[in-house]
Structure 1
Amino acid sequence: MDYSANSNRTPSGPANDTGASEAKAQHDAAASARSQIRAQARAPKHRINRKALGRSMQAIDIFAGALLAVVGAIAISGGQPGAVPAGELFPIAGFAALLPLMLSALGLYRIEPRHAIIWRVTRAVIATASLGATMLIAGFGTAPESVGILAVYCVVAVSAMTLVHLVYAGFIGHWAKAGRLARNIILVGATPNARKLILANQGSGTVNVVGYFDDRKSRAPTQLAGTPYLGTTDDLFNWSVLPDVDRVVLTVTPKAEERVKHLLEKLRALPQPVILLLDINGFNPETTSLDDIVGVHTARMSGHEENLGRQFVKRLQDVVFGSLLTLVTLPVMAIIALLVKLDSRGPALFVQKREGFNGRPIKVYKFRTMRHDPNAESKKLRQVELNDPRVTRIGGVLRKTSLDELPQLFNVLAGSMSLVGPRPHAYGMRTGGTETANLVAEYAHRHRVKPGITGWAQVNGSRGPLHTPEAARDRIKWDVEYISRAGFFFDLWIMLKTVPALLGDKLNVR
């Protein structure tokens, strides 16, 4: 009998079937374990912005210094601050004016969770005492007859400011222990130094390494120094916890040039800053803080440092202009709500979950323009088309004039939206059968700012649903350009162009 035809076949006996079943069971168990670990990965919320906290402390110190100056002037003048001689007023005013500068020079407005309370208090004492001594010495020259009362003032002022910074230190220590000052970080790539960095920074209260991603599944351990493996970079983009992450750290070796280029191109689309951490000679991870991650061994590859001044102006702009517009349009909104209710059954307002700042979900308000469907949330998202039968009579008018967007002024006042910014897209929005987010590499960039009622894309003709990949790319191009140019006067220009652009638009389906 000729066995040559079967000589290369794998036996199919019971032993082989058992081995295949065991291998499949092990594979399924490993996949299940990883899925469970990924589901359990959490990024702490309700955290405190360190920069904002530092600026708040500085503002309180400025107010406290001014208050001390007023109290000192009243004490010296016997209740008539206007009668204080210039020679006596100079040391008091000088202390108030130079106090925040001195404290800032010693780094007391830079929030470092790993610093002990005694560190902050000691620096506060050094800053305030040296400034008080300097002002007292100045008093010998400007008001020698009042040196005694100036000395009392300096002691009181130094003690008061030291007490204030003791309170600061207590709160900072409490928040650091609770993890509210920690930055949420994820790693991409598992190098030996990345593992050492995680171990060296555990329990520091400065960073929380939520997990790590690696495209090399076969080489990725389930955990890296206790940090869970969460999947590939494709999984990263669809990860539900991503909006709560502050920074993405790409850990690689310098030799892997092609892999670095590929990963950087892919990760640039993330709304978070991407930091490149190189394993190079002389780099000791055990003495390096992940909190100071932008240092000699790291490079920021994408993203921007938050500009608190710009954020404050933007928020003030939204509150002031948003309040005025809300007051002016309230009667109009009341009439529209009545017409919507009379035109068809259902609520006057339509609420939809959309993508907000950093990709976080927000509830966006609009006047209902379609026939009410109680099960709309559970159905597949379908964009509006020309002569769409779902649109009501009054809804068609509202959509053409964009008056259906007026309730989003309440989103602006609540802080989930801005007057100007990329329009908020619905989750899973599709363009030509493909998710819009998958059509444009820079799509996630639009999440770096709050979404807006109007934007640079809208005044340049990109309004309404996106039905082609080209239309999606054009809109993202305008959105990314807006983010790079955003500023008060640019926002004002867009707001002024919005109404003429809307009224002159006869082409877009809205």
Structure 2
Amino acid sequence: MIERRRQIQVALHLFGDLVATGLTLPLAYWFRFRLEIVEITKGVPDWEHYLILAPKALVIWPTVFYFQGLYQRRRIRSRADEVIRLVTSVMFSTALLVAFASFYRPSDFTYSRIFLLFFGVCNLVLVVFLRWIISSLLGRIRRSGRNLRSVLVVGAGELGRKVVDGLQAHREYGFKVVGYLDDDPGLKDKGFHGVPVLGLTANLEEVVQFQRVDQVILALPNSAHHRLNQLVQTAGQLLVDVKVVPDLLHFFVATGGVEELDGIPMINLTQIPLQGRHQVVKRLFDIIGAAALLLVTAPLYPWVAWRIKRIDGGPAFFSQVRTGLDGRSFKLYKFRTMRITAENDRTWTRTGDDRVTPIGAFLRRTNFDELPQLYNVLKGDMSLVGPRPEQPEFVDRFRARYPEYNTRHRVRAGLTGWAQVNGLRGDTSIRQRVIHDIYYIQNWSFTLDLKILMRTLWQVGK
């Protein structure tokens, strides 16, 4: 049953992509040769010349999409990640189509380059639109209580409850949590967020069969690691999906691979993805991105400065020492959002804080107060994406409480970060921020940076 449901979801996306690609050909032809958005200088070619591209496109597109992971059978999807994959897939597919159109064409005919450009743009719009429709329809069906998958969460601690919170917050994913299993005797017959504790981990097989569970999620703390292998083996024999949620505060992935010393393998546990050429590429992206954003936002600066100075006549900008890459201190710049009398008050601001000025509240809400940090990015103190920098006194305090905290300083601090786009701003859990920052550092990719920037723009625009 689970496999059939997955196949239906994949088939719907494949069908939508084929329909979108099939419609793109006449649409691009219409835009190029009927609307004449760009002047036609060589006459209107026969439709049949372009129609022969259809079979090639209908093979290229699903093939590229498949290898880009766009037909993976999973319900939990990141929309930002999917859009990035779609953009890169459509660009690559269009490039392949251009190659075919250039080398395999009638000797007396040349395809319009503007048509091929329209083809790529129209296809991206149609593919994204049809996938959005399919996802919305599936989400509506699941929110109505149909097409659900039963989930059992092993571990009723903080990690397990966070998993349940996430599943309940996204009903469009179609998961119904039937209960927890946990070996803590104090949790027996209790419940959290309306989900009961059904028994001990030893009852796994019995509960899976009785509750007709489709998926088991193992969300145990690092201290319970010794039980994990046995639970994975047991669950794997029950013909259900098995997923493991690592306790990320204590979970590090050896991304550096294996080095060898005279035949002795050595695993590099401290190497991170953002090293070598990746650092160079990211730095170039930071410089170009920060310069472009400065040019776009520069007209706002005089107006913002004037509004700030109107409040109490104080300076428009505020600077503060923060800790960045390799633990080095640097001076961070912001638009001043607090009254000048609160300058020496180092406590964190909270909702409704009377130290924040009216224009300051607006700047904080829209994140416009961070715009001067584009200068920090150009200087090399910061990056567009990375862990948010803290004041040195807070760094010392958090480092004493969380030994992993210093890992944050292995990359440049950022204007925005993985923790921030997941709602961890201001007066929120430091532990959760550390978890998200370490996840970003250990799993860095250019795609992840783009995903974070897209989510940041979405949140600012809301």
Question: Could you say which TM-score interval applies, normalised by the shorter chain?
Answer: 0.3 to 0.5
TM-score (norm 2): 0.41
TM-score (norm 1): 0.38
Q: Rg larger in 1 or in 2?
A: 1
